[in-house]
Amino acid sequence: MRHRTFTAFRSFGIVCMLAAALASPGPAEAAANMPVKLVVGFPPGGALDILARAIADQMRIASGEPVLVENRPGASTRIAIEAVKRASPDGRTILLASSAPFVIFPMTYRHLNYDVDRDFIPVAQLVDVPTVVSTAADQPYKTLPEYVAWVRSHPGQGSFGMTSLGGALHFSVLGMSRAIGVPLVAVPYKGGAPLATDIIGGQIPIGTDALASQLELHRAGKLRILGVSGLRRNRWLPEVPTLKESGIDAFDHANASYGAYVPAGTPREVVERLEHLLIAAVGNPQVQAQLARIGLEPVGLPGAELASSIRAERVFWRPIVESSGFKSDD
């Protein structure tokens, strides 16, 4: 009797386990129930974070799915990049990043825990990112030539704030340093907001970052933008000269872009769906108005064009990086 009771109990247990297994969602269904995460390598408040939150809102509306922004700052955005590399290739984890980690970091970092070509798929180029050089509103220098004169007379105060080392802005600062004959020391920050805070407070004499992180502060008179990167004046700052106009050529190619990437192995149809959603999001009039207020230029280009742009930028920057001799062990 005891044996028959145990056998029946065991059979009943097996049936229950099978029923539970059949009722439980499989991996694909479980993934579909997870929120989509837009991973950003900076803290809240900076240009990329603002872009991510605007896109998340539109993706949420278009897809009917929860879309979250996850801030993972640190290590010049490499913490965020490595987290997305390790994520499941199911389209639920998307990296939003500047072009620097995909263009210049492979040339400058001795040790990277990711391979930009092997580990990621470019999904869409989202916006172009004008960059600027700025200082506190109450600093004694009101123009870039005045700053150059000041730092030449104070060569021990050549600290230059930026949000990451080993990127286009870093090499632009190194080029400026050579041009003016004064050591300019790059000081990295974890994001645009802490950098702007230290510029305004005078903790650092000058800095360079995306216009989006500083435009409203400039308009409010809290900091002063001394020059814009690129070859033409910015449409939101027509009164501010380009750095080239002020005699500094090193920032001609310093403007960046923000793009979206997913882990390698993500199915092609998933990548194409995300590409469509992301391009539609930056094309939304509300998003474009929001980005215009902070100085980001929506472009909304497909992943193939983002990949082509990355290859072209590598060709431009490689001789500059190699001639600098800069390497990072960070």
Element (H, E) at 320: helix 303-324
Token readout for 285 is: 């009039």
Q: What percentage of the chain carries pLDDT values higher than 70?
A: 90
Of the two residues 20 and 205, the one the predictor is more confident about is 205
Write down all domains in the chain, each with its CATH number in brackets.
36-129+256-324 (3.40.190.150), 131-228 (3.40.190.10)
Say if residue 193's pLDDT is above 60.
yes
Residue 161 β-bridge partners: 187, 207
Helices 168-180, 303-324: axis angle to 10 degrees equals 30
CA atoms within 13 A on the CB side of 96: 29
pLDDT, position 5: 42
Distance of alpha carbon 253 from alpha carbon 255, whole angstroms:
6
Helices 168-180, 144-153: axis angle to 10 degrees equals 60
Using pLDDT thresholds of 50, 70 and 90, give the confidence band for residue 8: very low
Distance of alpha carbon 173 from alpha carbon 168, whole angstroms:
9
Region class of 76: left (phi > 0), else alpha (psi between -120 and 50), else beta: left
Distance of alpha carbon 112 from alpha carbon 320, whole angstroms:
20
Say if residue 204's pLDDT is above 70.
yes
Distance of alpha carbon 144 from alpha carbon 142, whole angstroms:
7
Using pLDDT thresholds of 50, 70 and 90, give the confidence band for residue 3: very low
137 near 280, Cβ under 8 Å? no
pLDDT, position 31: 53
pLDDT, tens digit, 9 for 90 and up, residues 223-261: 999 999 999 999 999 999 999 999 999 999 999 899 999
pLDDT, tens digit, 9 for 90 and up, residues 60-113: 999 999 999 999 998 889 999 999 999 999 999 999 999 989 999 999 988 899
pLDDT, tens digit, 9 for 90 and up, residues 122-162: 999 999 999 999 999 999 999 999 999 999 999 999 999 99
pLDDT, position 24: 39
Average pLDDT, the chain: 89
With vertex at residue 296, the alpha carbon angle to CA 294 and CA 297, rounded to the nearest 5 degrees, is 145
Token readout for 30 is: 């479980």
Distance of alpha carbon 213 from alpha carbon 193, whole angstroms:
7
